[in-house]
Structure 1
């Protein structure tokens, strides 16, 4: 498509490469280069580059006074607020490792993260700390909690020594760090199995900021707005985009469909960040004036279905850039706005290698699906492995390639297209079915807001296709009508046999549908079954 007048692509030069890619070095360089300009805001408190440098050194001083040393892990249970970034900067300055925890974590998952991380100090919002005190009385490394805000009167009795979040202390010198030293341990979403703690070095975040900001065209003076959670890579690395390019990052507390465009207007944002599910939700709302009252020219939008990209840009004046990256890797596939191709993630970025391989790690020809495997040319631009999970690390990085677990197709011209997760592939009637491709057809129906497709076992020892559907507000849809909609758009063997309609699908805090929960529920007495409906699909 041609970019609209609102969507003006900026061709930013990549920032000058720095030999020291640690957070203290990047903060010092920003303060020396552009210290008085805004760098970060949570909507109530704003830091300049010089402020951030001071905050880092003084928060590190408070951590050191508490006995935290270089290499120690500090857990963080906190939403998008100034204290979150204060802890990231303080740990990075001291050489400690910050462990952000998904604020939705509960029970066994939270217990696993606290045990696996080995954190003795937890910094937590008062409204969230009860989930820690509610854990079973088992031996955890946790000893002390710094509490942000006053606890509610009805809070559970504290199981661990607790004190108020201390004020910044006297500045201390930055630790002498290497690019490969760990800055954070980020836990995977836990969509299946135990969450894995991904050990992310300082240089990995540098390269996230360096590569992503080039695709987005970040320039000095830009205002980046994200309402995605800072405990995930997508939002956290946006801070480094601002840091490297003399821009500012503003964070919102959470995504609100009704308030999203208001936030863009209020913050005067020029760049924003969305995920796949957010765009159809926004498009499902009535057209409003503020959809064009903002200054945003481009959004990083991984996972947005191709048929929504053109509609969103035409309606809201924001170019959407797809791409590929994971907590373990970096911004490895993407491209600038003018090179986008709806339905494709983009092309391989400079500095990385990619292959599409079969189950034996042998490359498959262009145009055929296989697993995406990756490696980086620059040292420490990928994660260092999984914390305390040596076998999982070796498995993921076998044959010196990181195995993503994602099935993709590489076209002859170098564009990559996502097919599905390896574990989401469905085998039916001797055919391989992409759950992702079935989901795209379901999502294209005007009444459908969300959809999850997965395989359930049949009596024939193969898979049957099941879909759980969430409808747009005020919409109604008969199962057979949805089947008839799918029939001309899918091979007959890929049309879902089973359909369930739910008001709310289980999701992680980052908006990913937790299919493992849907698989566990499977077919119930309320599930609609095509085979018992009397309707017969046409084989075409």
Structure 2
């Protein structure tokens, strides 16, 4: 028995070494001169990153931050945001990143709900912070990054404002620094609220580590790879490059935003070999005019979520491999493609080792093969799914009812065990007794000449239930005749799936990770510029 306990302890110790701060520490000892982080301003080696992360840890401790304390971080995609995360990880405190588009009541809510006393913020976001009214009263300290000495710090409540250089003037390294564990919280990420306020998803180091291990096949990467990241670090997609590259000893390239026109130039200038293409990003790149140089790029491996219909042509055109997966903030990529061997252009893949996935009806009974059902998940390993919703035990219990994590996403599964995404449960449209997948409607609309992207959603019907409305954006230099589009869709869709409303808009409202804000479109409703059929 003593031997079993000892073996279990050794396994736990080995597993804990995959916590990011400790991974960086190991890399610093093994390949300290190798570049870990790079942006437009410069680069940092593993040794430098480890030393700076420890310096941030001591600085947080000097401000009274300790284990399980939550610290707000409102930063652009930057090395400083990474160093803050490493520093908090070392002392067992919890990074709580804020979407840098939040302001007013939403920002006020996040500050108060988090219970944080300290905020790390870039100077360019101070005007947004000032809109937070009551939330400012909860803050005791604001660490300001990017101050040139002229920043106006008035209107920030009673919090003590410290410039970054002063903040980092901390004491000596402790003799025995704390060792973070997989079970410790790595971050709290606020997801957009759909039927209520945003929920803070408590994410452990174990969950982030597993996500990075499985999202892109880790055995296909090594220290020669460079991961391109234009996604915000308050989103799990933004953290993937940082963590994944550390696991293999590669280089993470940080860019402040995604640009269709600059993407391939960036890839080649920085020598990037790996990237994530989320949402409509792959379509944006694919729909650019073809050139003879398309295949002459440094990129070798792409995680595409979701897959585009022409994924095989995409692979050939740009001479790269593609894998895919399904994930959400609460999980750790439970469904992945079998490496870079895609089943087809629609499947998200199959449950990865250690994950149990079922599709169930509204009463949690499993549905037959081929029938749509909500994806529910269990894990065979601890600390690989969310640790709950911060301060919302009732929402945690609701999500975990019957001891299965309910994702809110509808899938089908074929006889071979391949999973196919249908829609968000809340985005399914109920029209005249039929359930309509917004994804399937969108897939037909984007095949019409001149359509760049679109969103299908339900709006109230005078006869009860909903009518289908589609908002669309035209390709640059193109127009779309909505009458012709309506006729086109009638030939390709069942009658109950043909949209009653078509609306052309100049730009699609999106989140910083390029997901379409359907809630905003629903709120707009049927406008005066909408075509009715």
Structural mapping, 1:161-176, within 5 Å: 161-165=160-164, 166-167=167-168, 169=170, 170-172=172-174, 173-176=176-179
- The equivalent residue for 1:493 is 496
Shift of 1:244: 1.0
- The equivalent residue for 2:3 is none
Shift of 1:124: 0.8
Shift of 1:339: 3.4
Q: Is the 8 A contact 1:123 1:146 kept in 2?
A: yes
CA distance in 1, matches of 2:498, 2:265: 40
Structural mapping, 1:206-355, within 5 Å: 206-214=209-217, 217-288=220-291, 291-305=294-308, 307-335=309-337, 336-355=339-358
Question: Which residue of 186, 190, 193 corresponds with 2:189?
Answer: 186
CA distance in 2, matches of 1:247, 1:491: 49
Name which of structure 1's ranges 31-40 and 472-481 shifts more when overlaid on structure 2.
31-40
Q: Is the 8 A contact 2:346 2:420 kept in 1?
A: yes
Q: Is the 8 A contact 1:219 1:245 kept in 2?
A: yes
The superposition leaves residues 85-132 of structure 1 with CA deviations (integer Å, 9 ceiling, x where unpaired) of: 010000001111111111111111111111111111111111111111
Q: Is the 8 A contact 1:57 1:174 kept in 2?
A: no
Shift of 1:17: 6.9
Q: How many residues align?
A: 514
- The equivalent residue for 1:403 is 406
- The equivalent residue for 2:50 is 53
CA distance in 1, matches of 2:47, 2:391: 37
Tell me, what secondary structure is at the counterpart of 2:449? coil
Shift of 1:153: 5.8
CA distance in 1, matches of 2:83, 2:291: 36
CA distance in 2, matches of 1:29, 1:308: 41
Q: Is the 8 A contact 2:89 2:180 kept in 1?
A: no
Question: Are positions 1:374 and 2:377 aligned together?
Answer: yes
- Please give the TM-score of this superposition, normalised by the length of structure 2: 0.92
Structural mapping, 1:87-126, within 5 Å: 87-126=84-123
CA distance in 2, matches of 1:23, 1:154: 35
Name which of structure 1's ranges 49-58 and 146-155 shifts more when overlaid on structure 2.
146-155
Structural mapping, 1:493-512, within 5 Å: 493-512=496-515
Name which of structure 1's ranges 45-54 and 146-155 shifts more when overlaid on structure 2.
146-155
Structure 1 residues 19 and 175: CA distance shift in structure 2, 3 A:
closer
Tell me, what secondary structure is at the counterpart of 1:382? coil
Shift of 1:74: 0.8
- The equivalent residue for 1:533 is none
Gaps of 5+ in 2: 1-12
Question: Which residue of 38, 41, 51 corresponds with 1:41?
Answer: 38
CA distance in 2, matches of 1:45, 1:216: 28
CA distance in 2, matches of 1:242, 1:138: 36
Shift of 1:216: 7.7
- The equivalent residue for 1:3 is none
Gaps of 5+ in 1: 1-15, 531-540
Shift of 1:32: 3.1
CA distance in 1, matches of 2:417, 2:478: 40
Q: Is the 8 A contact 1:45 1:82 kept in 2?
A: no
- The equivalent residue for 1:358 is 361
CA distance in 1, matches of 2:135, 2:253: 39
- The equivalent residue for 2:78 is 81
Shift of 1:386: 0.6
- The equivalent residue for 1:158 is 156
Q: Is the 8 A contact 2:94 2:185 kept in 1?
A: yes
CA distance in 2, matches of 1:69, 1:158: 24
Following TM superposition, the consecutive aligned residue runs of length 4 or more in structure 1 with deviations greater than 6 angstroms are none
CA distance in 2, matches of 1:190, 1:473: 33
Question: Are positions 1:467 and 2:470 aligned together?
Answer: yes
Structure 1 residues 156 and 504: CA distance shift in structure 2, 3 A:
farther
Structure 1 residues 155 and 285: CA distance shift in structure 2, 3 A:
farther
Q: Is the 8 A contact 1:216 1:299 kept in 2?
A: no
CA distance in 1, matches of 2:135, 2:100: 21
Question: Which residue of 132, 135, 143 corresponds with 1:146?
Answer: 143
Q: Is the 8 A contact 2:280 2:453 kept in 1?
A: yes
Shift of 1:25: 2.7
- Please give the TM-score of this superposition, normalised by the length of structure 1: 0.91
- The equivalent residue for 2:128 is 131
Aligned-residue CA RMSD (Å): 2.0
- The equivalent residue for 1:62 is 59
Question: Are positions 1:449 and 2:452 aligned together?
Answer: yes
CA distance in 2, matches of 1:260, 1:51: 28
Name which of structure 1's ranges 211-220 and 517-526 shifts more when overlaid on structure 2.
211-220
Tell me, what secondary structure is at the counterpart of 1:62? helix
Question: Are positions 1:430 and 2:433 aligned together?
Answer: yes
CA distance in 2, matches of 1:190, 1:471: 29
Structure 1 residues 364 and 243: CA distance shift in structure 2, 3 A:
same
